Amino acid sequence: MAAAVSSSSLPAVPVISLSNRRQLIICKAANEASVSPPILSKRSLCISISSVCVLALAGKGHFDANSAILEADDDEELLEKVKRDRKKRIERQGVIKSSTKETAYLQDLVYKLSKVGQAIENKDLSAASSVLGPSTDTEWVSKINSAFNKLSSSPEEKTEVDNFNSSLSSLISSVSGKDIEESKKAFVASASALEKWTVLTGLNEQLKGL
C-alpha cells in the first residue's frame, strides 16, 4: 500500500488575483487572435473597404456641418460682444465729455502727485506734506472722490478707487510721520492704482502727466 502523501510535501500553488487573471485572459485572447487571423475573400474585403469609405465620408460631412454651426455661433457671439463694447465706449466717452469739472479735479490730482513724488525723491517731506495736507479729510480729496464716484462703473474700477484711497491715506500718514521709506512705497502704490483706474475708464488719454 502506497504511503499517504502529506500535504506538506506538495508544491505550493501560487495564488493569482482576479486582476491578474483578467490580464492573463486578455493576453491569451490577443495571442490566439494573432495566431489565427480571419480568412477574408476578395469580395468581402472590397465590401468592407467600401463600407469604411462611405462611413468616413458621411462622418466627415456630419463633422463639417457641426463645425460650421459652431463657427457661426462663435462669430455671432463675438460680433455681439464687439457691439456691446463699442456701445459702452461711446457711452463712456459721452460721460467723460460732459464731466469737465470732474476731469479738472483729476488733472489737479495728477499734478499734486507729481509734486509729491518729486519732493519725496528729494527727501523733502515737508514740501510733500504741504501739498497733501494733514489728512484725507480735505477739500481736494473730497473732490477727487466725487469724480471717482461719477466716472467709475465697473467693479474693477471701483476696486482701484479703493486701492488708491487706501494708499493715499498711507502716503499722507507716512509723509506726516517723516518716514521716507514708507512714503516711497505709499507713493508708488497710489500712483499705480490711479494709473490702472485711468486705463480702465479711458481717462488715460484725457489726463496729462500720467
Q: Summarize pLDDT for 125-170 with one digit per residue, the tens.
A: 999 999 999 999 999 999 999 999 999 989 999 999 999 999 999 9
First to last CA, the chain: 111
pLDDT tens-digit readout, 31-45: 545 554 555 455 554
Give the pLDDT band of residue 18 (cuts 50, 70, 90). very low
Contact 116, 176 (CB under 8 A): no
Task: Indicate the burial class of 90 (C-beta count within 10 angstroms; 0-12, 13-18, 19 or more).
Answer: exposed
More confident residue, 85 or 179: 179
Q: Is the dihedral of CA 54, 60, 66, 68 positive or negative?
A: negative
**Alpha carbon separation from 151 to 32, 96, 168, 175, 210 (Å, rounded):** 77, 7, 19, 29, 18
The hierarchical CATH code for the domain 100-205 is 1.20.120.290
Given a contact cutoff of 8 angstroms between Cβ atoms, the answer to whether 108 and 132 are in contact is no
* Predicted confidence (pLDDT) at residue 101 exceeds the cutoff of 90: yes
Q: What does the domain layout of the chain look like in residue ranges?
A: 45-98, 100-205
Sign of torsion over alpha carbons 30, 35, 39, 45: positive
Q: Would you say the pTM of this structure is higher than 0.85?
A: no
What are the tens digits of pLDDT across the range 169-200? Answer: 999 999 999 999 999 999 999 999 999 999 99
